[in-house]
Amino acid sequence: MPQLYPPSTILQTPYGPATVLKPGSKTPTGTPVVPATLQLHTWSLANSVHPLFYTHDGTYKTIDPVLTTGHNVTTVYGRGVIIEEREEEGVVVLMSEWRLAGQSRVKCTWKRCLKATNG
């Protein structure tokens, strides 16, 4: 069955921007069958988790992400958060899942190949 939305797409919803976690599906004629699972960017619950919502609505518009300080991203080395923007070198990403000896955090500089994520 065709997907309602591609995974990892950022959409503009009535609740603000959201990332598609599960694409949902629709019939070949376009009737939604399985709802898409979206995670909101600008809402946070009491435990700092971004809420999910489910939708059959296939009319949300795609947003091109502008990656700036504070955005969660995925790199070829794993997940991280943008902590600094540099005009010549791109952005500095503090890696979340990568530690050096002594539990030191890893910072990488990227000009491209970043994918916006949530969480």
pLDDT band at residue 118, thresholds of 50, 70 and 90? low
Residues 20 and 58 reside in one and the same domain: yes
| pLDDT given at position 115 | 59
Domain, as residue range, for 34: 10-62
From residue 99, alpha-carbon distances to 50, 95, 108 in Å are 25, 8, 12
| pLDDT given at position 1 | 74
pLDDT band at residue 37, thresholds of 50, 70 and 90? very high
53 has which bridge partners?
38
107 has which bridge partners?
94
Q: Which residue has the tokens 């795609």?
A: 62
Please state the domain count of the chain: 2
Residues 78 and 105 reside in one and the same domain: yes
Residues 44 and 80 reside in one and the same domain: no
Residues 77 and 109 reside in one and the same domain: yes
| pLDDT given at position 25 | 87
